[in-house]
Amino acid sequence: MTLKMDRRGFGRLMGGGASLWALASTGALAQANGSVRLIWWGNPERDKRTNAVVELYEGGGMGEVVPETYAWGDYWQKLATQAAGNSLPDVLQMDYRYIFEWARRGQLEPLDGYFGNEIDVSDYDENQLKGGMVDGKTYGISLGANSMTHVYNKAVLSNIGYELPDSTTWTTEDFVNIGKELKDQLPDGMAFSENMGSQEPRLQTWVRSRGKDLYTSEGELGFDVQDVIDYFVYWKMMQDEGLTQPADVQAQDSGKMEERMHVNGKSLFGFIHSNQLVGNQQLMTDEVDIVMIPNAGDSPGHYMKPSMFFSMSANAGDKAAAAKFISFFVSDEGANDILLIERGVTADASIRERITPGLTETEQKIIRFLNMVDTRVGALPPPPPANAGEIDRALRPAWESVAFGQVTPEEGATAWYDDAARILKR
């Protein structure tokens, strides 16, 4: 009796199992020859354009492409998991911050061998190509350039009737003086600037304008503890003078565009990368514009940063096909008519010329800005060492302990500097 009932129960279970197996046939990993798996992070606009290029590529009979896309926050977890399982897609969108790490850990394919064959980068800017080099080999083709900027609320400034000085030569002192002058004329609740004490890229322009950089080519810290102390002292002064918001208000910005001080009308100035301008403008009714970052030393700290790359997985199934797709994506005119500058301003001179007239006013601002910066940039920084990301993330709590008055700028800066040195050794 007992057994009989049990058997019936399990029969039911097995029946359920069988229908599950039927479900399983809905898709297998596309690894067939000539087919390319492509993965990127992004947003609906980027997805639309990228998918259109994929269709153009497939329509031209050049091969099949299987696209995958995720939001930035999810992308890296997905990619790391796939890498751990040796099932990375063939073509990967890579970020400047991560490409060194991924290349050095053997996940990426050097592309130099494909140049002149499958990949056509003859019109590419030399410097931008170098941006994808790690230890002498090219592991990524830049999809566009950007640079760091100060973004400001143009509508508010023209209401006041204030004219900004030439941003190619202004200094951090000028910035403070302008702030003091404008402070009382700003709308209610708006401070002069976002507090950038926790922004690692801002710190980088700071030390670069003093002729140093964050890291040396040997992978050690490229600046002195005094540089960080000065940096923290400067931003603490800005906060104490009321030129930036109090620490708790500033901390509400965790880095998302919708939380930024200038987006919410809490500051006149903010810090963004030039390719974020379109997304930034989209969230504001007031018109914004971008200018160069004030110098903390003798020269501008800017450089032209590849906004992102296409890289190839070291385990790609059909490497020639993957290379062909990368080449199509960066150098085909039809493809770039669709892509425009959504991923950054292309390093291909002829394509840049071709697409510029069709851009929106906001996009034109980016081009104008990069043209202004282009002649004033320094060399690309040496590739950051493996744990650079962790050091970047440690800057924020270090700065916040200063901002909230828990420690002095000197103590906070020294603690972070020592932490950074220790993280590099770990």
Partner 1 sequence: MKALNESRATKVRRQVLRHFVLGFASILMIYPLLWMVMSSFKPDELIFSDPTALPTSFDLTSYFQGWFTFRESFTTFYMNSFIIAFFAVVGNLMACSMTAYAFARLEFRGRKIWFVLMLGTLMLPYHVTLVPQYVLFLKLGWVNTFLPLIVPKFLAVDAFFIFLMVQFFRGIPREIDEAAIMDGCGPWRIYWKIMLPLSTPVMATAAIFSFIWTYDDFLGPLIYLNDMSQYTVPLALRAFVDSSGGESLYGELFAMSTLSLVPVFIVFLAFQRLIIRGVALGALKR
Partner 2 sequence: MTSVSTNPGGRSAPSTEGRFARIWRRNGAGYLFLLPWLVGFLGLTLGPTLASLYLSFTDYDLLTSPRWSGLKNYEYAAFYDRRLGKAIEVTFTYVLWSVPLKLTVALLLAMVLDRSVRGVAFYRATFYLPSLLGASVAIAVLWRQLFGADGLINQLLFFVTGIQGPAWITHPDYALSTLIVLAIWQFGSPMIIFLAGLRQVPQDLYEAASMDGASGWRQFWKITLPLLAPVIFFNLVLQTIEAFKAFTQAYIVSGGLGGPVDSTMFYSLYLYLEAFANFRMGYASALAWILLVIIAIFTAIAFGTSKYWVYYEDEQR
The contact set with partner 2 (CB under 8 A) reads 2-3, 6, 10, 13, 73, 76-77, 80-81, 83-84, 101-102, 105-107, 189, 246-249, 251-252, 254-256, 258-259, 387, 389-390, 393, 396-397, 400-401, 404, 406
Distance of CA 27 to the CA centre of its chain: 33
Residue 206 CA to residue 208 CA, distance in Å, equals 6
Nearest to 399 by CA among 171, 203, 174, 262: 203
What the block records as the tokens of 60 is 């031209």
How near is the Cβ of 259 to partner 1 at its closest, in Å? 8
Nearest to 423 by CA among 221, 206, 189: 221
Amino acid letter at 176? V
**Which residue, 102 or 170, has its beta carbon nearer to partner 2?**
102
Q: What is the CB neighbour count within 10 angstroms for residue 63?
A: 18
Considering only the stretches 41-49, 131-139, 180-188, 371-379, report the one whose residues sit in contact with partner 1 under the rule CB under 8 A: 41-49
Where in 49-88 is the site for partner 1 (CB under 8 A)?
51, 66-74, 77-78, 80-81, 84-85, 87
How near is the Cβ of 12 to partner 2 at its closest, in Å? 11
Contact yes or no for 108/139 (Cβ under 8 A): yes
Where in 307-346 is the site for partner 1 (CB under 8 A)?
342
28 binds partner 1 (CB under 8 A): yes
- Greatest pairwise CA separation for the chain in angstroms: 93
Q: Per-residue contact track with partner 1, 223 to 262, x per CB under 8 A?
A: --------------------------------xxxx----
Considering only the stretches 17-25, 224-232, 353-361, 390-398, report the one whose residues sit in contact with partner 1 under the rule CB under 8 A: 17-25
From the list partner 1, partner 2, none, partner contacted by residue 274 (C-beta under 5 to 8 A by kind): none
From the list partner 2, partner 1, none, partner contacted by residue 29 (C-beta under 5 to 8 A by kind): partner 1
Q: Is 177 helix (H, G, I), strand (E, B) or coil?
A: helix
How near is the Cβ of 175 to partner 1 at its closest, in Å? 23
Q: Is 291 helix (H, G, I), strand (E, B) or coil?
A: strand
**Which residue, 6 or 224, has its beta carbon nearer to partner 2?**
6
How near is the Cβ of 343 to partner 1 at its closest, in Å? 9
Considering only the stretches 170-178, 200-208, 274-282, 318-326, report the one whose residues sit in contact with partner 1 under the rule CB under 8 A: 274-282
Nearest to 106 by CA among 386, 390, 387, 323: 386
- Angle 200-208/388-403 helices, nearest 10 degrees? 100
DSSP 246: -
Residue 255 CA to residue 137 CA, distance in Å, equals 32
Residue 247 CA to residue 176 CA, distance in Å, equals 18
Q: What is the CB neighbour count within 10 angstroms for residue 160?
A: 13
Binding site for partner 1 (CB under 8 A): 1-2, 5-6, 8-9, 12-13, 16-17, 20, 23-29, 37, 41-47, 51, 66-74, 77-78, 80-81, 84-85, 87, 255-258, 263-265, 272-273, 275-276, 278-280, 282-285, 342
